[in-house]
Amino acid sequence: MDNDLLSGKVVLITGASSGIGAAAARVFAREGATVVLTARREERLAALTAELRDKGVRAGYVVGDVSVAADAARAVDFAVAEYGRLDAAFNNAGIGGDRTPLHLMTDDVYDTVMDTNVRGVFNCLRYEIAAMLDHGRGSVVNNSSVGGLVAIPTAAPYIASKHAVIGFTRAAADEYAKQGIRVNAVAPGTTRSEITADWFGRNPGLEDLANSLTPQGRTAAPEEIAEAAAWLLSDRCPFLTGTVLPVDGGFVNQ
């Protein structure tokens, strides 16, 4: 393997403190990227940045909340100020929210899920695209979910939020196609991370159910999602924009 998929590119990763985002930081760095990490937990970001720098990777981090527009702007500004431009972004930050039947769902769950998963992507896209327009090209991957394509029980705000992420992906891809900016999404199936550890911990039987509903009969490692995002962000697929790539062991294909 050449390990040059993202060689020379400056890539912003949101939600880089754990799970798929942390895996993406390692995979993108291995593929030659300079990585800018953002999330709310500074200790995690500092440790991962140090790990990458020890391997000779150019890496920096910005503590921030994607649901706050000024924080999203700061992350993009940091990438441009520190490394000269923003070539690519993986808008991965997201939360699952409590699993509850829709008629019992609270305003709080709705607000936090929508603010993080939808407003967060909206905030990041605005500032990332502005920076990419300055540079004349760019590539963005938003992290949706199989829940952005089909329903999953007891997670209505999450399902709605991930459908909205696909809506933003399509809208942005269409608007900026002629300006050299590609926007795609990944739709992961069940992936081992803090979100699923929380869901499985509080809902006995859910992990077995997820496995049984997946043709490959298993969950994904976070790196499996990161590898797909790396390819979508790279220059190896220049005619690909506005698409949603399920990375799901065959789940939505059934």
Return the active site residues: 158
* DSSP three-state, residue 80: helix
Work out whether 97 is an interface residue with ligand NDP (CB under 6 A): no
Q: Which residue in 34, 49, 67, 123 binds ligand NDP (CB under 6 A)?
A: 67
**What distances in angstroms separate CA 139 from CA 122, 199, 219, one per listed residue?**
15, 32, 28
Work out whether 18 is an interface residue with ligand NDP (CB under 6 A): yes
CA neighbor of 92 nearest in space, from 174, 47, 27, 157: 27
Q: Which residue in 5, 10, 19, 249 binds ligand NDP (CB under 6 A)?
A: 19
Here the tokens at position 33 are 């990227």
Instruction: Give the C-alpha separation, 243 to 231, whole Å.
Output: 13
Print the binding letters for residues 165-194 with ligand NDP: x by CB under 6 A, - otherwise: -----------------------x-xx-xx
Work out whether 241 is an interface residue with ligand NDP (CB under 6 A): no
* Minimum gap (Å) between residue 72 Cβ and ligand NDP: 9
- Residue range at the interface with ligand NDP (CB under 6 A); choices 9-17, 48-56, 133-141, 170-178: 9-17
Beta strands in 92-180 (DSSP E): 138-143
CA neighbor of 156 nearest in space, from 104, 94, 93, 213: 104
For ligand NDP, the binding residues (CB under 6 A) are 14-21, 39-41, 44, 65-67, 92-95, 116, 120, 143, 145, 188, 190-191, 193-196, 222
